[in-house]
Amino acid sequence: MTLPRDPVLLMLLGTVFTLLVVASIAGWAIGHVVTSDAARATMANVNARIRAWWVMAGVFAATLAAGFTWSILLFGLVSFLALREFVTMAPTRQGDHRPLAWGFFVVLPLQFALVWAGWYGLFSILIPVYVAIFVTIRAAIAGDTQCFLERAAVTQWGLTICVYFVSCVPALLTLRIPGFEGQNVGLLFFLVFVVQLSDVLQYVWGKAIGRRPLAPSVSPNKTWEGLVGGVLCATAAGTALWWATPFSPFQAAALAFTIGVMGCAGGLIMSAIKRDRGVKDYGTLIPGHGGMLDRIDSLCFAAPVFFHLTRYFFAR
Amino acid sequence: MIAAAVAGGVRLLSGPGVEWRCARNSDAQRIYFANHASHLDFVVVWAALPPRSRQLVRPVAARRYWEQNTVRRELARHVFNAILVDSGSGSASPQEAARATTARICGGMGDRHSLILFPEGTRSPTGEVGAFKSGLYFLARCRPEVELVPVHLWNLHRILPKGEWLPLPMLSRVVFGAPLTVRPDEEKSAFLERARAAVTALGDGV
C-alpha cells in the first residue's frame, strides 16, 4: 500500500546504524577507561542497552522495509507485550478476568485491524468510547463490586496506553498527506527516532550535568538539565530530518520538540504507576532496559499527540 | 514433536521467567513439588524443565480432570505420561486410600522417572500456599534417596483462576529451589511444614 521510497528509507536507516556503531565503539572505549566500580557498573548497563538497541533497531528496520502490513503486525506485537506487562503488575481481581480476556483477544486485534483497514472513525473511538462502555458492562456483570472504580480504571488505562496509544504509531502510515503519497514511513521513522533519541539524550545529559531533579518523588533520575539538554538536542536532530517528512524545517523542529516533551511526560507517568505498585521495572524482556513498557513509555504518550497534530495540520 | 509444540505454546502464553537455584540438568530422580493455583500449573513446570528431564518426568494429576474428555486423556497418557490418581477417597478409609495412592505413585516412579506433585491437593484461589497433605511425606519415606525439589509458581492464580477456562496471557515465574530430604527422625507435620515453608520462601522478592 504505502511502500517506502527506498533511497530515503536507506538513508534514514543508515543514520541509525552509523549512530549505533559510534555508540558501540564509544561505550566499549569508555568501559575500558573508567576505573571506579560505580562507573564500571554504569558502563556495563550502558553497553547492555546499546546491544539491545542493535536488536531493536534491526527488528524495526526489517519491518519498515517489509512494508505496511508487517509494520502493523510489529506494533500489534509490541502492544500485546506491553499490555501483558501492564496487567501483570496491575491490581486486578477475578472479576476482571473476562473483561481482560476481551481486551487481549478481541479489542487489541480489532484496534490494529481498524488501523490496517484505515477506518479512522472507529479506530479513534473504539477504546475511549466502546471499551469504556462494553468492557465495563462485562465487569459489572461479573458481579465483584470491591474496588470497582479502581479496577475499571486499570482495564481502561491499560487498553488506552498499551493498545490505543501504541496503535497511533502505525496509524501514521494511513494518513493521506497531499504531495507525500507513498512516503509515510518517513513520518513513522521521524516519531520513533526522535522519541527514542530524546530518551537517550535526556539520560546522557542527566548523567553528565544533571543537578535539579524534575520530580524526585516519582523518578530520581529525571533532571531539568537532562530534560532541557535532551529535548533540545532531539529537536535539533528532528529538524535535520525534515527532508524525510512533509514538514518544513521549522515545523519539524516544533513537532520534534513536542515529541520530546510528551515523551518525558510519558516516562514520568509510567514511573508514577511503577512507584505506586512498588515495582522497579515492568518486565525483563529487554536486557538493560527492563520490560517492553519501560522502553516504550515515552513513545506511548508522544504517538497520539504527534498523530493528531500531523493529521489536523497536514493530512487531507 | 507434540510435546515440543505444547511446551513452546505454554511458554509463549504464560511467559514464564524460569529461575534455577539448583542444578538444572540432573540425572538424579527428583520430586518437583509446587504450590497449586491453576490447571496450567503442571504444564508450566513441565515446560520449564530441560527437554531431557521432560521425557522422564511424570506429573501426578487428578484422574477426574484428566479423563474427562478424549483430548485430555490422550495428552495425559501420551504427551505428559501422567500418573493419574483418584482425589476422592472412595469406599476405603482415608488412610488406606492415601497408602494405596502412595504405593501407586511409587510404582509409577520406578527407578528412572521424576515426579511433578502438588502437595496441597487442591488449587488455592488467592495464590497463598495452603497446608500440605501427607502424600509428599509418605513418598519421601518410601524413596529416601530421591531429591525433593521445591518449586514456586507465581501469578498462575491470576492467569487461569478457578472456574475460568481461558488463560490470560500475563507473565508468570517459576523458581526451582535447593533440594530437601526428609530427616530420619523427622515427624510428618514438621517435615510438611518445612517443605511448605521452602515453597513459600522461594516466592519472596519475586
Q: What is the pTM of this model?
A: 0.91
pLDDT of chain B along its 206 residues, tens only? 777 888 877 777 666 688 899 888 888 899 999 999 998 898 899 999 998 898 899 999 888 888 888 998 998 888 889 999 886 555 567 777 778 888 889 888 988 999 999 999 888 888 889 999 888 999 999 888 999 999 999 999 999 998 899 999 999 999 999 999 899 889 999 999 999 999 999 988 66
Residues of B in contact with A85 (CB under 8 A): 171
CATH number, residue B36? 3.40.1130.10
Cβ–Cβ of A84/B169 closer than 8 Å?
A: yes
Q: Kindly determine whether residue A88 and residue B170, on different chains, have CB atoms separated by under 8 Å.
A: yes
Instruction: Please return the burial class of A199, using the count of CB atoms within 10 Å of its CB with bins 0-12, 13-18 and 19+.
Output: buried
If you average pLDDT over every residue of chain A, what do you get? 93
Give the count of domains, chain B: 1
Burial class of residue A278 in the structure, from the number of CB atoms within 10 Å of its CB (0-12 exposed, 13-18 middle, 19+ buried): exposed
Is the Cβ–Cβ distance between A264 and A249 less than 8 Å?
no
Mutate to test the interface with B, among A83, A88, A138 (most CBs of B within 10 A): A88
Q: Please give the distance of CA A9 from its chain centroid, rounded to a whole number.
A: 20
Which of B45, B8, B12 is CA-nearest to residue B154?
B45
Lowest average pLDDT, out of A121-125, A236-240, B65-69, goes to B65-69
DSSP SS3 for B113: coil
Q: Please report which confidence band the pLDDT of residue A3 belongs to, taking 50, 70 and 90 as the band edges.
A: very low
Cell of A161: 496506553
Q: How far apart are CA A202 and CA A207, in angstroms?
A: 8
Interface contact flag, B15 A101, Cβ < 8 Å: no
Largest distance between two CA atoms of chain B: 46
CA atoms within 13 A on the CB side of A212: 6
User: The C-alpha cell of B66 is what?
Assistant: 484428566
Which residue stretches of A118-213 are H helix? 120-123, 132-142, 148-159, 166-171, 185-209
Chain A residues within 8 A of B154 when measuring between CB atoms? none
Statement: residue A2 has pLDDT above 60:
no
The b/e string for B129-154 (b: 16+ C-beta within 10 A; e otherwise) is: bbebebbbbbbbeebeebbbbbbbbb
Query: Which positions ≥6 away from A129 have C-beta within 8 Å?
Result: none
Task: Give contacts of B 102-161 with A, CB under 8 A.
Answer: 125, 155, 158, 161
Q: Does B170 touch chain A (CB under 8 A)?
A: yes
List A99's β-bridge partners, or say none: none
Q: Return phi, psi of residue A173, to 5°.
A: -70, -15
Element (H, E) at B147: strand B147-154
* Facing residue for A97 by CB, picked from B15, B164, B171: B164
Across the interface, do B171 and A283 touch by the CB < 8 Å criterion?
yes
Residues of chain B with Cβ-Cβ distance to A94 below 8 Å are 125, 161, 163-164
**Contact between residue A246 and residue A314 where contact means Cβ atoms under 8 Å apart:** yes
Q: Which domain, by its residues, includes B18?
A: 2-202
